[in-house]
Amino acid sequence: MLLAVDVGNTSTTLGLFDGATLRHQWRVATDARRSGDEIAVLLGSLRALDGAPAPDRAILASVVPTAERAWGAAAERLGVPLDVVSAARTRGWLRVETDRPEEVGADRLVNAVAATAYPGDAWVVVDLGTATTFDLILAPDRLRGVAIAPGLEVAAEALATRAAKLGTVALAAPERAVGRTTSEAVRSGLVLGHAAMVDGMVERFTAEAHAELGTDAHVRVLATGGWAGVVADASARLDEVRPWLTLEGLRRLADGA
């Protein structure tokens, strides 16, 4: 059994694979203060909750350096070999065509590896988490570049902090764009506004893909991340939501297929 771990700034996603089949998946809050022992206990509790077997190997993508070290200690404590994703680890899978490939986050690399398993001439991966990121991958394996914007929850927290009279609202799309209450107005601006930003960026990424590949190229748009479902309901340009896309990419890297 393979344990795939994606450590993000806000949440950590874990998946337990039996071959290519994702048998169990969990999402927990990222806490950079957790020690290796605490992570080992947490993992044992999650497995017990679902009656999941113990992994015999693990692979990790992390954008939190302290968490990466703690997961290494946890893997050592559990006697499970740990494979840590880096730009070097994805050679043979991806050609990173940014000016500074070493700056591309492990999650971006893994999502690109996952996307290329789907049919298409190019892929736009929209990852809606702490940040909302956009990756353009051109077939067969060219990570052409990335865009990064504040995530939906980050925008909501900033608005609530800087505009005290607005307060916090549930992050769900309202029935109409023109709000008739303060709550509706804030939800419209946050959720529908974020979806419009996503659609506009996808439009731009698609246009740049067509400029390189020709207008007949099929550009497939994949959404992932904790806010993907909320934004996809209000978006016109997200082809499909793949909530465990990063785990899929980790599995491909671990298994070499």
Looking at 23, 57, 84, the residue that finishes a domain is 84
Instruction: Let me know whether 147 and 232 are in one domain.
Output: yes
pLDDT value at position 75?
Answer: 96
Range of the domain at 77: 2-84
Instruction: Let me know whether 172 and 231 are in one domain.
Output: yes
Instruction: Let me know whether 139 and 236 are in one domain.
Output: yes
The rounded distance, in Å, linking the Cα atoms of 256 and 250 is 10
Tokens at residue 117, please? Answer: 């398993």
pLDDT value at position 167?
Answer: 67
pLDDT value at position 165?
Answer: 63
Q: Comparing C-alpha atoms, which of 221, 220, 231, 227 is closest to residue 243?
A: 227
The rounded distance, in Å, linking the Cα atoms of 213 and 222 is 19
31 is catalytic: no
Q: Comparing C-alpha atoms, which of 245, 250, 249 is closest to residue 84?
A: 250
Residue 253 lies in a domain: no
Residue 189 CA from chain centroid, whole number: 23
Catalytic residue selected from 107, 127, 135, 239: 107
Instruction: Let me know whether 74 and 146 are in one domain.
Output: no
pLDDT value at position 15?
Answer: 98
Residue 142 lies in a domain: yes
Residues of the chain with pLDDT under 70: 164-165, 167
pLDDT value at position 87?
Answer: 85
- DSSP H helical ranges for 54-116: 65-78, 106-115
The CATH number covering residue 60 comes to 3.30.420.40
Instruction: Let me know whether 135 and 74 are in one domain.
Output: no
Looking at 64, 84, 104, the residue that finishes a domain is 84
pLDDT value at position 161?
Answer: 83
Q: How far is CA 120 from CA 28, 109, 141, 203, 224, in A?
A: 32, 18, 11, 16, 17
Using the structure block, give the residue that is written with the tokens 């509790």. Answer: 45
Instruction: Give how many domains the chain has, as a whole number.
Output: 2
Instruction: Let me know whether 123 and 230 are in one domain.
Output: yes
Q: How far is CA 103 from CA 96, 98, 107, 109, 229, in A?
A: 10, 9, 12, 11, 28
The rounded distance, in Å, linking the Cα atoms of 115 and 221 is 9
Residue 114 lies in a domain: no
Residue 95 lies in a domain: no
Instruction: Let me know whether 55 and 144 are in one domain.
Output: no
pLDDT value at position 194?
Answer: 97
Instruction: Let me know whether 79 and 137 are in one domain.
Output: no
pLDDT value at position 257?
Answer: 77
